[in-house]
Amino acid sequence: MSLLNPEHREHLELIRPTARYIMETEAHVYALAISASVLLSFFPFCNVMLSLCRMLHWPAAEEAIYLALRDYFPGELAGFLKRNLALQGHLQLTSMVLLLFTANGIFEPLEVALNRAWGITRNRSYLKNQLIALGMIFICGALAMLSLMFTAFNRQWLGAWSALAPVQSFLNLLIFKIAAVPISILALFLVYWLLPNRKISPSRVAPAAIYVGLVLEGLKYVNLAIAPYLQAKLEHEYSIFRHSVAILLWSFIAAMVVLAGAEWTARHGDRDSLS
C-alpha cells in the first residue's frame, strides 16, 4: 500500500524530471562553468563597484556593498572580503577589462544551458553571444547599482534619526532585502527571457524567476546556519583557498537552482520549433 496519496504522487511526478535533469552530467558541466566564471568575476566586480562609490565620494553606498557581502557571506568570509577590498585604490582599467572578460564567461554557458533546456539546437553566433552577454553585464550591473543606491539613501536617512540608532542595523538589513530581492528576481527574469535563442513570452518565465529568486534567498539562510561548520571543514581541506572554494561551491549550487528553474519552465510549455 502506497504511503503517498494521489495528490502527493502527482506532485512527485512533476518534480521528478527536474530532479533527473539536475543529476545529469551535462547540467553539472554547465553549472561548474558558470560558477568558475562567478569566482573569477566576483572580486573585480566588487572592486569596480567600490571604486565607483569612492569616485562619487559616497561612503553610504560603500557601506551598503559591505552590508550585501555580509548578507551573502556571513562570518569570517565577509570580514576577509572587506579587509582586502578596502586595500584597493582607485578604479583601474585592468579591473574593468577583467570584469567584462570573466562576466562574459557566466552568460556563455548559461545561454547554452538555457537553449538545451528549451530544446533549441542552434546557439547564437560567437559575436551575437558576446553582444548579448555584454548587454546583460551592463543591465545586471545597473540593477546592482540601483539596489545599492536605494539602500544607501535609506542608510543616510536612518542615520539622521538618532532615536532609531538601537535598531539601525536591523532596519538597514531589512531595507537592503526589500530592495535586493525584487531586483534579483528581475535580473533572473531577464536572464530567462533574453538569453535563450528564441522568442519566449514574458509570462512563461516570470513565475520561475520569482520562485528561483525566493529559493536563492532561502539558500542564504542555509549558508548562515552552516557557515561555521563549512568554514572549519574548508579550512582543514583547502587552507588558504577556503574562501575561494566557498564562493565556488555556493555559486555552483545557485547555478543548479537557476538551471532547474529553466528546465521546469521549458518542460511546462512547447519546445522550440527548430529543434
231 pLDDT above the threshold of 60: yes
Q: What is the chain's length?
A: 275
- pLDDT digits 0-9 by tens, 77-112: 888 888 887 666 666 777 788 888 888 889 989 999
Three-state DSSP at 200 gives coil
Contact call for residues 41 and 102 (beta carbons, < 8 A): yes
- Taking the CA atoms of residue 115, residue 257, residue 172 and residue 85 in that order, the dihedral angle to the nearest 10 degrees is -80
Identify which of 48, 38, 50 has the alpha carbon closest to the alpha carbon of residue 102. 38
Q: Can you give the pLDDT at residue 275?
A: 40
Evaluate the CA torsion angle 170, 176, 180, 182 in order and state its sign: positive
Q: Can you give the pLDDT at residue 1?
A: 43
- pLDDT digits 0-9 by tens, 170-221: 666 677 677 778 888 999 999 999 999 998 999 999 999 999 999 998 998 8
124 or 173: which carries more pLDDT confidence? 124
At residue 16 the predicted structure's pLDDT band, cuts being 50, 70 and 90, is confident
Q: Can you give the pLDDT at residue 3?
A: 57
pTM summary value: 0.83
34 pLDDT above the threshold of 90: yes
- pLDDT digits 0-9 by tens, 251-268: 999 999 999 999 999 887
**225 membership: H or E segment, kind and range:** helix 202-238
